[in-house]
Amino acid sequence: MPELPEVEVTRRSFADRIAGARVTDVFMGKPLRWGLGCASTDLVGRRVVGVQRRGKYLLIELDTGLLLVHLGMSGSLSFTHQLPQRGVHDHFELHTDQGALRLHDPRRFGAVVYAQNARDAMAQKLLGHLGMEPLGEEFDLKVFQAGLKRRQAPIKQVLLAGQLVVGVGNIYASEALFLAHIRPTRRAARLTRVQVQGLHGAIREVLGLAVRKGGSTLRDFSSADGEAGHFQVDAMVYGRAGLPCRVCGTPIKLIKQGQRASYFCPKCQPA
DNA sequence: ATTCTCACCTGCGGGC
DNA sequence: TGCCCGCAGGTGAGAA
C-alpha cells in the first residue's frame, strides 16, 4: 500500500501523540516479514522519544534503541487510547501510557524490527543502501543525474529500486514520469539533462502533493488517526488504463515492467 | 556492480 | 453460487 506519502502522513498522524510515552506492553501476532529481533518484553519500560521517517520506513526512536516499522504492501498503523477489538490481521501492538499503536497488515509483507542504533547490522541491511530523500534538500540534481547516467535499466525500475532516490513506489513513479513527459521504458542513462531536471522536480511535486492530500487510499489505507487519503482521485495515469489522458485524451496504456504495472500516455510521454 | 526473477501472504474481482 | 486465475501500494535474496 504505502509509498513515501502514505508513510509520511502516517508518521505525522501520531508522532506528537506518542512522543514521551512509556511502553507498557507488547503484542505480537502472526510472523511478519522479519522477526522483531529482540524479546518483546525487552521493550517494556522504554520511552518513545520521537518518530522519524527514512524512505518508506518509520523509525520509532526509543530512549534506548529504535523500532524500524515497514508497512509492506497492505500495512497500516492506528494509534488510539482505546483500540477496537483485535482482528485476525492485527499483528503487532505497542501499548503505552499515552495510547496503543497497532499494525494491521493482511499480507504480512510489513515488519517491525528492533535495532540498537542506525548502524547495527539489521538496520544497515534495511536502510544502508537507500538513496536520497526526495523531499529534503539532500535531493541533489547533480547526484541524481550522475546516478541515472550509470543505469541502463528502464527509468521506472530505477526509481522503484530506491538506490538513487527513496520513497517512489508504483503509483508515484508512473505519476512523476507522466508529469515529466518521460516514457517509463526509457533507459535511465538516456534521459536528457532537461528530462532529468524535469523528473527531479516532478518527483518532488507529486510526492509533496500526495502528502498534502493525505496519501492515496486505493483499498483501505488510512493514517494512524483513521483518515483516508485523497490523492488517487488526482492520478493522471495510475489505474487509468484505457481511459482518456486528462491532458490530450489519448487512451492511457498499461504495460508490465518487472511484474509491475506501468501506466503512461503514449502521446504525452513519447518514446 | 547491475539487472532480472522469484518469493513472501491474503483478499478481491472477473470470467466461466 | 462456486472455482480458478490474475492482480494488488514492497523489497531482499539469489542468480546470471
Which of A166, A140, A160, A155 shows the shortest CA–CA distance to A269?
A: A155
Length of chain A, in residues: 271
Spatial distance from the CA of A34 to the C1' of B16 (Å): 39
Is A3 part of the annotated catalytic residue set? yes
Count of domains in chain A? 2
| Integer-rounded Cα radius of gyration of chain A | 19
Q: Give the integer Cα–Cα distance in Å for A101 and A140.
A: 35
Q: Are residues A150 and A255 in the same domain?
A: yes
Q: Give the integer Cα–Cα distance in Å for A261 and A251.
A: 16
Is A260 part of the annotated catalytic residue set? yes
Q: How far is CA A37 from CA A34, A117, A140, A213, A224, in A?
A: 8, 13, 35, 35, 24
Q: Are residues A24 and A109 in the same domain?
A: yes
pLDDT, position A218 = 86
Q: Are residues A120 and A201 in the same domain?
A: no
Q: Write out the residue range of the structural domain in which residue A230 sits.
A: 141-264
Spatial distance from the CA of A73 to the C1' of C1 (Å): 31
Q: Are residues A164 and A205 in the same domain?
A: yes
From residues 109-128 of A, list those within 7 angstroms of strand C by Cβ: 109, 125-126
Is A246 part of the annotated catalytic residue set? no
Is the C-beta atom of A72 closer than 7 angstroms to strand C?
yes
Spatial distance from the CA of A149 to the C1' of B1 (Å): 14
CA nearest to nucleotide B9 C1': residue: A107
Spatial distance from the CA of A201 to the C1' of C10 (Å): 24
- Strand B bases within 7 angstroms of protein beta carbons: 1-11
Cell 530523500 -> residue: A133
pLDDT, position A83 = 95
Q: Give the integer Cα–Cα distance in Å for A30 and A201.
A: 41
CATH of the domain at A36: 3.20.190.10
Report residue A264 CA to chain centroid gap. Answer: 21
Q: Are residues A174 and A64 in the same domain?
A: no
Choosing from A72, A103, A127, the residue where a domain stops is A127
pLDDT tens by residue, chain A, 271 residues: 699 999 999 999 999 999 999 999 999 999 999 999 999 999 999 999 999 999 999 999 999 999 999 999 999 999 999 999 999 999 999 999 999 999 999 999 999 999 999 899 999 999 999 999 999 999 999 999 999 999 999 999 999 999 999 999 999 999 999 999 999 999 999 999 999 999 999 999 999 999 999 999 988 889 999 999 999 889 999 999 999 999 999 999 999 999 999 999 999 999 8
Could you say which of A2, A134, A154, A184 is catalytic?
A: A2
Q: How far is CA A41 from CA A37, A108, A143, in A?
A: 12, 22, 43
Could you say which of A56, A108, A186, A253 is catalytic?
A: A56
Could you give the dihedral angle defined by the CA atoms of residues A167, A9, A78 and A94, in that order, rounded to the nearest 10 degrees? Answer: 60
**A76 within a domain of the structure (yes/no):** yes
Q: Residue A44: how many CA atoms within 13 Å on its side-chain side?
A: 7
From residues 209-248 of A, list those within 7 angstroms of strand C by Cβ: 215-221, 229
Choosing from A97, A127, A157, the residue where a domain stops is A127
Is the C-beta atom of A35 closer than 7 angstroms to strand C?
no
Cell 497488515 -> residue: A105
Cell 510526492 -> residue: A207
Q: Give the integer Cα–Cα distance in Å for A259 and A237.
A: 18
